[in-house]
Structure 1
Amino acid sequence: MSDSNAQFTIHFWGVRGSIPCPGAETVRYGGNTSCIEMRVNGERLIFDGGTGLRELGQCLLDEGQPIQASMFFTHSHWDHIQGFPFFVPAFLPSNQFEVYGVISPNGATIEQRLNDQMLHPNFPVPLQIMQAQLKFCDISVGETVAIGDINIINALLNHPGEAVGYRVEWNGIAAAYITDTEHFPDRLDENVLYLAQNADVMIYDCTYTDAEYHSESSSKVGWGHSTWQEAVKLAKAANVKKLVVFHHDPLHDDDFMDDIGRKTAAEFPNSIVAREGMVLDLAEFKALELASR
């Protein structure tokens, strides 16, 4: 973990939705499912535990022990938790993790949901074999979690079975992580606007294109995901400084993602398509912004 007192970086470890899709046609953008890491003022925040979490775990092991981090889950669909059983740092007793999640509509806690996916016959060993110090923390929708002088805010998203998005604030910098949400046909989502308002970066669920979403033969309406066109509308309305296209459909190969990147940038110039391994330095962005005033 960095000792920098002015650090706010976002590291992308998994950028896909639904299911991992490794292969020659996805090598440039990556095939792992959702997992991002924020390093903020010496703290490590991990959002979602898709298969990208395994990659993050290997990187953490290379940095040495002990490891301390806070993990925040948006919800517990497979593509957001399936990397957790393969997160090697959680098996080592020298490490500490605080794990946050909103209680699901059926009353299940994040601990119960992570435990259930590791029960026989789904997995060979139970969650209890993990030897790290795991502290599970249930949070309410709308609750703010304070870690030092960092505030992590959540709001409910429009997704089957419910999900939450997060906003991380520190030292005048804000990043919004808004994935697994479906836009409304007649209005912009107030919760999304709340999380994204004046954010330095908005990471947004752009699983589909408008054409795919409204397809007469295979409509995606009601599936719980949004489009890059809706992301542009939200970014403009919320005065977002940088838009990150995220949660790529597994059927979208590298060339398809290149095309989405070009079209998104034409509508919102300060935008980028998330790639595995990509790092954004928000503290640097903020310093450049202040210097240009």
Structure 2
Amino acid sequence: MNKVKVKFYGVRGSIPVCGKEFQRYGGNTTCIRILREEANRVAILDAGTGIRMLGKELIRDGVTQNIINIVFSHFHWDHIQGFPFFAPAYNPDQRIGILAMGRKGKVHDIKGIFSKQMQEEYFPIQMDTMGARFEFYAYGDKETIFGAHVKSIPQFHKYHGGSYGFRLDDEGVSLVVCTDLEHVNGIDASIVDFAKGADLLIHDGQYTTAENNGVFKGWGHSTWEQAAEVARLAHVKKLIITHHDPDHNDDFLDGLEQECQKVFPNSLFAKEGMEVLVG
């Protein structure tokens, strides 16, 4: 069986945070590396501030790959803000694929999304002068990418076209990532069906139930209880909660993780540097 290794480089939502109370879980925004061990091929999910360290590691470890693909769940600031600091993007010999799954025919200027945040008013280097060769793809709901079957699903994330979840099925290994989604009027049955039987489900859990029912209702995120219920109903093997709220410190997240494990025992809260072997 092929092995897929998942490593977390950023696990925060909304905005990066720093301080001694955030050291164990980390303060960088969303970035996940997916490594197909047998093929030694790296793909990246989202380019929050965590992608800076990922880029440094790829260079340090001498990772060479014809094209490095970065798949985006959506283009909110916390999921793209690390991109200008991704070191391989400055290598003229490197091709980088910018992939928007599920958005074929729905988004027409992916390059513009990244170029705007790097225009000279905001950043000293513009995208066209970074060095790497960029390729932009808006894919449909089902694609085969480097031999792996990748599916996407639209999620309720209130603003600007929502977000998309992903499912990777690769030689008997199944990985589902559903971040930046809100379950409205009960658990979204389509998400449960999408995650059915997965080896690993990575799911948004930014808010507590009290927060989600209060001021943050409608803000487009889930609770750990909802994530655990999706995992239970979908019969997934392992659950990891991510996209932690910037106001939730290490001790607070420890408490939530313990509560989650009472409901779904094979669950963890994501930490920067955490590496999980799937399959």
Q: Distance in 1 between matches of 2:146 and 2:108?
A: 28
Counterpart residue number, 1:291: none
The residue aligned with 2:256 is 260
In the alignment, the residues of structure 1 paired with residue 107 and residue 149 of structure 2 have an alpha-carbon distance, to the nearest angstrom, of 25
Structure-2 separation of matches of 1:52 and 1:138? 23
Q: Which residue of 1 aligns with 2:61?
A: 63
Whether the 8 Å contact between 1:157 and 1:191 is mirrored in structure 2 is no
Instruction: Indicate how the Cα distance of structure 1 residues 168 and 107 shifts in structure 2: closer, same or farther if over 3 A, else same.
Output: closer
Q: Distance in 1 between matches of 2:118 and 2:275?
A: 31
Which residue is equivalent to 1:73? 72
Residues 185-200 of structure 1 mapped to structure 2, 5 A cutoff: 185=185, 187-200=186-199
User: Could you tell me which residue of structure 1 aligns to residue 273 of structure 2?
Assistant: 277
Contact kept, 8 Å, 1:47 with 1:72, in 2: the verdict is yes
Contact 2:25 / 2:272 at 8 angstroms: preserved in 1?
A: yes
Structure 1 stretches lacking a partner, 5+ long: 284-293
Q: Where do 1:152-171 residues align within 5 Å?
A: 152-159=150-157, 160-161=159-160, 162-171=162-171
- Note the alpha carbon deviations across 1:148-188, whole angstroms, 9 max, x for none: 32111111010022111111111111111110000112x32
TM-score (norm 1): 0.89
User: Does the CA-based 8 Å contact 1:156-1:191 persist in structure 2?
Assistant: no
Higher relative contact order (CA 8 A, sep 6+): 2
After the TM superposition, which of the residue ranges 89-98 and 256-265 deviates more from structure 2? 89-98
Residue aligned with 2:177, SS = strand
Please state whether the residue corresponding to 1:152 is helix, strand or coil. Answer: strand
Q: Which amino acid aligns with 1:223?
A: W
Mapping of residues 58-207 of structure 1, within 5 Å? 58-64=56-62, 66-67=64-65, 68-102=67-101, 103=103, 107-140=107-140, 142=141, 144-159=142-157, 160-161=159-160, 162-185=162-185, 187-207=186-206
Deviations along 1:82-119, one digit per CA (max 9) or x if unpaired, are 00011010110122222101549984432221111111
Give the Å deviation of 1:190: 3.2
Q: C-alpha deviations, 1:117-146, integer Å up to 9, x for none?
A: 111312222111122222111123x2x221
d(CA) in 2 for partners of 1:66, 1:200? 28
CA contact (8 A) 1:158 1:182 kept: yes
